[in-house]
Amino acid sequence: MFGIENYLGFVMAAILLNLTPGSDSMYIITRSISQGSQAGFYSVLGIISGILVHTLLAALGLSIILANSPLAFMIVKYIGASYLCYLGVKMLMSKQQPLIAESLQENEKSSSAKTLAHWQIYKQGVLTNTFNPKVALFFLAFFPQFIDASYAYSMVSFIILGLTFAVTGFIWCSCLALLASKFSENLRKTPSIEVILNKISGVVFIGLGIKLLTDKV
């Protein structure tokens, strides 16, 4: 149906791949541990939105440019790595008060600021995933194995498979965010501990950026 072969096999493979730890998982865990379940949830939404972007690019054939152009691949790779390092340095240099302590005196102004923070976390998740060229190449290598080469509307097949991958990823990543936030809930209630967690998160982001930069295709 829709040019997709062995859809059940794809679903099983997608679940296994989502369970495999990677940079996206680390981003979600780090956000959840340092800032709580809401931050983790918005980071999940950001990562999944990035997956949808890659799905659309793959369906349109634009990801082939990354596969065939070493220069384009390197540009996207450097942008992604630089952005992760930027986030890490920003968290290390931040002097803002712990989010848990602030929430105890929440008012309309702080609520508005929290909404802005959630939007920033979501946006960072989107950019972190979108500017990882290895995700684009993975989609190009993995999806075609489940698409009938003779099917005339392969774009539809790509989109369906991409949505399926996103749904399985959303379920697993949401569980991951919830578990990570629960694990660190008591720690984050102590302002000094929360500050330390934020600093550790900054180091993790820088590490992810360096890893992306040094990884080979």
- The pLDDT value given to residue 49: 94
For residue 55, being part of any structural domain is answered with yes
Domain that holds residue 91: 23-100+122-214
Q: What is the pLDDT of residue 212?
A: 64
In a domain, 190, yes or no: yes
pLDDT tens digits along 137-161? 777 777 777 877 677 777 788 888 8
Q: Can you read off the two tokens belonging to residue 104?
A: 């105890």
- Rounded CA separation 141/202 (Å): 32
Mean pLDDT, rounded, of the chain: 76
Q: What is the pLDDT of residue 70?
A: 75
Instruction: Assess if residue 182 is contained within a domain.
Output: yes
- 148 falls within a domain: yes
Q: Can you give the pLDDT at residue 150? A: 72
Does the pLDDT of residue 214 top 70, yes or no? Answer: yes
* Among candidate residues 12, 25, 8, 13, the one with its CA nearest the CA of residue 141: 13
pLDDT per residue as tens digits for the range 171-208 = 999 998 998 888 777 665 555 666 666 677 677 768 76
Tens-digit pLDDT profile for residues 84-110: 687 778 777 766 544 444 443 444 444
Indicate whether 84 belongs to any domain: yes
Residue 7: inside a domain: no
Proportion of the chain above pLDDT 70, given as a percent: 72
Q: Work out how many domains the chain is built from and give that number.
A: 1
- Is the residue at 117 inside a domain? no
Query: pTM of the predicted model, to two decimals?
Result: 0.69
Q: Is 147 helix (H, G, I), strand (E, B) or coil?
A: strand
Per DSSP, 146 falls in state: G
Per-residue confidence (pLDDT) for residue 15, from 0 to 100: 86
The answer to whether residue 6 is domain-embedded is no
* Per-residue model confidence (pLDDT) at position 209: 73
**DSSP codes joined into one string, 171-212:** HHHHHHHHHHHHHTHHHHTSHHHHHHHHHHHHHHHHHHHHHH
